[in-house]
A = this chain, B = another copy of it.
Amino acid sequence: MTAPSGIPNGIPAEINIGLMGLGVVGTGVAATLLRENSHLSDLIGRAVKLKKVLVRDLSRPRDIDLPAGLLTANAEDILADPDIHILVEVMGGTDPAEAYLKQGLSAGKHVVTANKEVMAKSGPELLALARANGVNLLFEASVGGGIPIVGCLMNELAANDVRSIRSIINGTTNYILTAMAHQHTSFEQALSEAQERGYAEADPTNDIEGIDAAYKLTILASLAYRSTFQPGDVYCEGISKLEPQDFQYAQELGFAIKSLAIANLVDGAVQLRVYPALLPAEHMLAKVDGVYNAVEIDGSLCGQVLFHGMGAGREPTTSAVVGDLIEAARKMGGPSVLPLELPNGSGIPVRPIDDLMSRYYIRLGVADHPGVLAQIAQVLGDGQISIASVLQKDVHPETESAEIVITTHPAREASVQKALQIITELPQVRRVSNTLRIEE
């Protein structure tokens, strides 16, 4: 394998790094490269040097003191410099990051990126470009912060056929759900507290609607199934519909509520979804609290392996980026090892959410009249949906209203949705307050 322009075959005496982005993560990466330089060079086996840092605004005050001349506002100072061997991209967003990554790979630079959006949307294309140019493209930091899940799926767990991935990979939503469960706050209160603490952005849509988690799940599932999924393949439900009663009833039934990102293989097709779900309280994933993340891999050989740690933040993400940088540098001169290279791997179909078989939790507001439950049970029975438990709750004599909480045995999603439409139209049913899936 010969390396294209810029990088001689073999290994340069000093490895030069071009860093793109000097936000929270970029500052952590630059600080580590400067502070730990001699240690990193020892780990890699040759000298490593931060040569250039791309920023948008040269004059902006920074948390970090960088040597003079390191900053540039011109991407070409990195992309067109043949002496920069490894490009580290921590800018985020697709534009201009994706174009820079393509240009860097085409110029024969090894690439380390933390960019989940680009990797979820254009990972296959970028990996093909890396392959064509004989370079490595590493993206541990795109999922799970300090949790080494990307590398483990590619390397340490490579011998396994992955049966399922079940994960909590958005710290913002997990922080909000933990507050709602333990402090009995409303969604709105919990969100505004998360925003005050810097755990949620001013516009929290990407986090609370599951979009961020869908990007990450796309990356994990593509690695696990050696296929090329797109974020649009992931069925998504956000957490804003959850109410304090749901947490109360879930707890009474022995469950926690977590926003889960799940991929699993059923009869040769992969089901991909992000939604809040009930989990048995004693399950390890149910114990993941606050901004922590966790990923559970169920592999054909390893069984269930769970990874738990900090999924975001400057230091954990720096751990992933610098870990990739060490790996990229160590691998220079050797064959590039890229994922998604299986000849037979790209044809796994995606199974639509309608086909999901799951248990369900259904919370209904009804008129407090005799016979309501019988009517609801009749509709569920007609749809072949078998009831596992019923709670009747919160009867308010003044409004003659009550709440009914039903859990079902495994049923087909499409049947449940159809039954709920019929139930909504029953005269004594005031609303279907919430429908959540139950993970075993």
Q: Which residues of B contact A330 (CB under 8 A)?
A: 335, 337
Contact indicator A151/B146 (Cβ below 8 Å): no
Q: Which residues of B contact A4 (CB under 8 A)?
A: none
Contact indicator B43/A146 (Cβ below 8 Å): no
Q: How far is the CA of A316 from the CA of B344 in the complex (A)?
A: 25
A59 CB, nearest partner CB in chain B, Å? 29
Residue A244 lies at the interface, judged by CB distance under 8 Å to chain B: no
Residue A94 lies at the interface, judged by CB distance under 8 Å to chain B: no
Contact indicator A323/B284 (Cβ below 8 Å): no
Question: Known: A155-B155, A155-B323, A159-B322. Contact between A301 and B146, CB under 8 A?
Answer: yes
Q: Which residues of B contact A159 (CB under 8 A)?
A: 32, 36, 40, 318-319, 321-323, 325-326
Residue A206 lies at the interface, judged by CB distance under 8 Å to chain B: no
Question: Known: A302-B316, A309-B305. Contact between A342 and B43, CB under 8 A?
Answer: yes
Q: How far is the CA of A387 from the CA of B43 in the complex (A)?
A: 45
Residue A373 lies at the interface, judged by CB distance under 8 Å to chain B: no
Contact indicator A322/B301 (Cβ below 8 Å): yes
Residue A9 lies at the interface, judged by CB distance under 8 Å to chain B: no
Nearest-neighbor residue (CB-CB) of A287 within chain B: B287
**CB within 8 Å of B: which A245-303 residues:** 284, 287, 299-303
Nearest-neighbor residue (CB-CB) of A322 within chain B: B159
Contact indicator B327/A155 (Cβ below 8 Å): yes
Contact indicator B315/A303 (Cβ below 8 Å): yes
Residue A233 lies at the interface, judged by CB distance under 8 Å to chain B: no
Residue A204 lies at the interface, judged by CB distance under 8 Å to chain B: no
Residue A66 lies at the interface, judged by CB distance under 8 Å to chain B: no
Residue A157 lies at the interface, judged by CB distance under 8 Å to chain B: yes
Q: How far is the CA of A43 from the CA of B343 in the complex (A)?
A: 9
Q: How far is the CA of A151 from the CA of B157 in the complex (A)?
A: 10
Q: Which residues of B contact A151 (CB under 8 A)?
A: 151-152, 155-156
Contact indicator A42/B301 (Cβ below 8 Å): no
**CB within 8 Å of B: which A119-178 residues:** 140, 145-148, 151-152, 155-160
Q: How far is the CA of A112 from the CA of B42 in the complex (A)?
A: 25
Q: Which residues of B contact A305 (CB under 8 A)?
A: 146-148, 307-310
A429 CB, nearest partner CB in chain B, Å? 40
Contact indicator B307/A43 (Cβ below 8 Å): no
Q: Which residues of B contact A145 (CB under 8 A)?
A: 302
Contact indicator A299/B146 (Cβ below 8 Å): yes
**CB within 8 Å of B: which A32-66 residues:** 32, 36, 40, 42-43, 45
Nearest-neighbor residue (CB-CB) of A45 within chain B: B341
Q: Which residues of B contact A344 (CB under 8 A)?
A: 42
A227 CB, nearest partner CB in chain B, Å? 13
User: Known contacts A140-B156, A148-B156, A305-B307; can you find 17 more A-B pairs with CB under 8 A?
Assistant: A32-B159, A42-B342, A42-B345, A147-B302, A147-B305, A158-B323, A159-B319, A284-B308, A287-B287, A302-B319, A302-B320, A303-B309, A306-B308, A308-B308, A331-B335, A333-B335, A334-B334
A-B complex: 7 closest residue pairs judged by Cβ atoms: A334-B334, A148-B156, A146-B302, A159-B322, A301-B319, A305-B309, A302-B319
Name A residues whose Cβ lies closer than 8 Å to a Cβ of B.
11, 28, 32, 36, 40, 42-43, 45, 140, 145-148, 151-152, 155-160, 284, 287, 299-310, 315-316, 318-323, 325-327, 330-331, 333-335, 337, 341-345
18 A-B pairs in the complex with CB atoms less than 8 angstroms apart: A36-B159, A42-B341, A42-B342, A42-B343, A42-B344, A146-B301, A151-B151, A152-B156, A156-B323, A159-B318, A159-B321, A159-B322, A284-B284, A302-B316, A303-B316, A304-B310, A305-B307, A306-B307
